[in-house]
Amino acid sequence: MEKIGVIGAGSWGTALAQTIAGKGYDVHIYDVNREHLDEMNKNRENVRYLPGVPFSDNIKIAYTAEEALDGAMMALFSAPSQFFRSAAENALPYLTSEMIIVNVAKGIEQKTLRRMSEIADEVFSAEIPDYKYAVLSGPSHAEEVGRAMPTTVAVAAKCEETALRVQDIFMTSRFRIYTTSDVAGVELGGALKNIIALGAGISDGMGFGDNAKAALMTRGIAEITRLGVKLGADARTFNGLAGIGDLIVTCTSMHSRNRRCGIMIGEGMAPDEATKKVGMVVEGMYTTQAAYELAQRVGVEMPITEAIYDVINGRINASDAAEMLMGRERRHEPEEH
């Protein structure tokens, strides 16, 4: 069996490990939390983050990055976006030019405002000049993928051969993959939709209806596209799985950590308390900060992002944010990006 190393044992990494293990790959999962690894080894299940999904026999627990990656043909990084850089640096000594590197984190690094592929280039390019990188994203809750419920996502790579190889590795009768070369668009769609999902949750928590959420999602994809195009992405990407597809599922499902966190904020809970109560990383809280700064830097108007930024930083409350958005000056639709 061909070996695949998974770096990061959260819900999403575990669900993807289960998917490829079911195809006969020899999957080795590593995480920096040794206690978590011990629990998974004992229970043969990720009880902490993906309960109710027993491990395939092809899944093994690795206690070091070297153990997970030695001899692997693919390295799957599923660490949260703010930890991708450290995970990549830790794994670097064990990566080779023959390996495919797949990243599934959805976010923008704070302070540097880098996308995950930009971080990968900083970490890998000097040691592995011809490294093969791909990003996988789309409407895909781990709770459903782990249970083999029908799901469709996109994989992006600059090299078509790499994208096609990743498509072949992951694709099953229940997990369909589309390929694209728009790495920036897929990464930005996956990251920025978490901001709008926070807003959708806040709207739900305040008791607003379907009309408000539909408007938030529609105007949300408009500002996501504006920023994406400014940063070199293809506008069409945001009309696909990595854009509107991921936005829909994250804004409407209770599987969504970002939406659940937003609901609690809309009900009056402090943002930091809501984040703790979710119990897992809420990517939108980090991405809102980074996207706000990025939009300011490149001169792109993102009113929803700005409003959510003000709410989670305690500048205004959710009611004030709603009034501010509804009271903006008149505009014309559709807009030019």
pLDDT band at 290 (very low <50, low <70, confident <90, very high): very high
Of 188 and 317, more confident: 188
Q: pLDDT, tens digit, for every residue of 199-240? A: 999 999 999 999 999 999 999 999 999 999 999 999 999 999
Query: Does residue 273 register a pLDDT over 70?
Result: yes
The contacts of residue 5 (CB under 8 Å, 6+ apart) are 28, 30, 62, 65, 68, 69, 72, 74, 75, 76
Distance from chain centroid for Cα 200: 17
- Mean pLDDT (the chain) is 95
- The DSSP bridge pattern shows strands 132-137 and 151-156 to be antiparallel
What domains sit in the chain, N to C, each tagged with a CATH number? Answer: 3-181 (3.40.50.720), 184-326 (1.10.1040.10)
3-state secondary structure of 34: helix
Q: Average of pLDDT values for 64-93?
A: 97
Catalogue the active-site residues: 193
CA 195 to chain centre: 11
Q: Residue 316 burial (CB < 10 Å; 0-12/13-18/19+)?
A: middle
Q: What pLDDT was estimated at residue 337?
A: 60
Q: What pLDDT was estimated at residue 333?
A: 83
Query: Residue 98 pLDDT > 90, yes or no?
Result: yes
**Rounded distance between C-alpha atoms, residue 204 and residue 197, angstroms:** 10
Mean pLDDT (whole number) for 263-283: 92
Note the pLDDT tens digit of each residue in 11-55: 999 999 999 999 999 999 999 999 999 999 999 999 999 999 999
pLDDT tens for 129-185 read: 999 999 999 999 999 999 999 999 999 999 999 999 999 999 999 999 999 999 999
pLDDT at position 336, please?
63
Task: Write down the pLDDT at residue 103.
Answer: 98
